[in-house]
């Protein structure tokens, strides 16, 4: 890992087939090969696709209100400051149940690669 400050660039946000918008905040092997960080944005009323990833994932809720479904847990409401821990291979999705965009950060270990994403829909 190198010493660096990564500035968020909202212009790099892109729509995904998962029904959310992503900014890859930090996901380069040459900078930090152990983890990745992405900013996710889900618009009001939208539910992301049911999926799982091969590695560990954490959601850090920054703005808005969501209802998260993780594995066998009952759906739970989450908001700013909440952290959701998701073990490898556990199904997951999140719904924006508020009136404003739901924004959260996804921290993946190991670093996220598209081959680690598995849709369940």
Confidence of residue 2 (pLDDT cuts 50, 70, 90): confident
**30: pLDDT strictly greater than 70:** no
Confidence of residue 61 (pLDDT cuts 50, 70, 90): very high
Q: What is the pLDDT of residue 1?
A: 66
The DSSP line for 86-108 is E-TT--EEEEE-SSS-EEEEEEE
Q: What is the pLDDT of residue 114?
A: 86
Q: What is the pLDDT of residue 51?
A: 96
Q: How confident is the model over 68-75, as a mean pLDDT? A: 97
Q: How confident is the model over 98-103, as a mean pLDDT? A: 98
Q: What is the pLDDT of residue 32?
A: 73
H-type helices in the chain, by residue range?
Answer: none
Instruction: Give the whole-angstrom CA distance, residue 59 versus residue 18.
Output: 15
Structure tokens at 4: 């660096």
Q: Please tell me whether the peptide bond between 110 and the residue prior to it is cis, using omega within 30 degrees of 0.
A: yes
The structure's pTM equals 0.90
Q: What is the pLDDT of residues 81-95, one digit of tens each?
A: 999 999 999 999 999
Instruction: Give the whole-angstrom CA distance, residue 121 versus residue 119.
Output: 6
Domain ranges in the chain? 15-119
Q: Are 22 and 89 in contact (CB under 8 A)?
A: no
CATH number of 15-119: 2.60.120.10
């Amino acid at each position: 890992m190198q010493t660096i400050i990564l500035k968020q660039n909202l212009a790099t946000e892109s729509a995904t087939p998962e029904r959310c918008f992503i900014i890859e905040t930090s996901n380069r092997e040459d900078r930090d090969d152990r983890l990745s960080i992405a900013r996710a944005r889900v618009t009001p009323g939208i539910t992301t696709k049911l999926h799982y990833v091969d590695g560990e994932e954490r959601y850090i809720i920054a703005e808005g209100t969501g209802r998260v479904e993780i594995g066998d847990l009952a759906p739970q409401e989450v908001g700013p400051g909440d952290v959701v821990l998701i073990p490898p291979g556990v199904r997951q999705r999140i719904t924006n149940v508020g009136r404003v965009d739901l924004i959260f950060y996804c921290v993946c270990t190991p670093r996220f690669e598209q081959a680690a994403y598995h849709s369940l829909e």
